[in-house]
Amino acid sequence: MAGPLLELSVAEFRRQIEINLVGVVTVSKAFAPLVGTDPQLKGPPGRIVNISSVGGRNGMPFIAPYAASKFALEGLSESLRREMLLWGIEVIVVGPGAVATPIWSKAEQIDTTPFRDSPYAPALERLRAFMLKLGEHGLPPERVDDVVLEALTAAKPKVRYAITPEPRRDWIMRNLPKRLVDRMIGKRLGLLPPH
């Protein structure tokens, strides 16, 4: 779901939450017995690896439903990890940045005509161009596969793995003061009011 939050329907917002958050809850509940909550099953406990995103730590404009779902997934994973202590089941988050997959070609297909009369239209087009560029220079999917494998097999896994094509930019976005990052994004996308 891409577009200004104030101009997206609540149904579109709900759909994103259903897919990225409620879907994870449904799958986690279904598989919990197999990873170790069923005392009848023997063997070492399994692990749950949830795929989040850099968007789970940094909300960009025009992808509020996605960011909300990934921020929520981060919190859900942390709570679930603490609940699973009872069985020794690890709950791990993998938060990749842009990954070179066909999803980026979908950005070209996003219909922005509903927003053409919106004050956000120019900024939305700038963000779309930026996202297409990110996809071109994204991580190879195999890098993410390697991190997921490590999360599943490491003797002492981290609780969260971040993997981005540009770790420095990710660090800056997470560690600079939020108001400064707001201005940087606003300037880049043309969202700052004229002085």
Q: Which residues form the domain of 105?
A: 5-189
How much is the pLDDT for 105?
65
pLDDT band at 83 (very low <50, low <70, confident <90, very high): very high
Whether residue 142 is contained in a domain is answered as yes
CATH of the domain at 108: 3.40.50.720
Q: What interhelical angle do 178-189 and 121-136 show, nearest 10?
A: 100
pLDDT band at 110 (very low <50, low <70, confident <90, very high): low
CB 159 within 8 A of CB 81: yes
Quick one: which of 46, 22, 48 has its CA closest to 35? 46
Mean pLDDT along residues 102-107: 68
- Tell me how far CA of residue 193 lies from CA of 119, 183, 186, 190, in angstroms: 11, 11, 9, 8
Whether residue 117 is contained in a domain is answered as yes
Whether residue 115 is contained in a domain is answered as yes
Q: What is the mean pLDDT of the chain?
A: 90
Catalytic residue from among 66, 115, 120, 161? 66
Report the domain count for the chain: 1
Residue 166 CB-half CA count within 13 A:
12
pLDDT band at 100 (very low <50, low <70, confident <90, very high): confident
How much is the pLDDT for 106?
65
Whether residue 65 is contained in a domain is answered as yes
* pLDDT surpasses 90 at 99: no
How much is the pLDDT for 109?
67
Max Cα-Cα span within the chain: 68
Residue 161 bears catalytic tag: no
Residue-wise burial string across 31-52, b where 16 or more C-beta atoms lie within 10 A, e elsewhere: ebeebbbeeeeeeeebbbbbbb
Mean pLDDT along residues 61-75: 96
Mean pLDDT along residues 54-62: 90
Whether residue 194 is contained in a domain is answered as no
Tokens 């596969």 label which residue? 145
Whether residue 195 is contained in a domain is answered as no
Residue 148 CB-half CA count within 13 A:
11
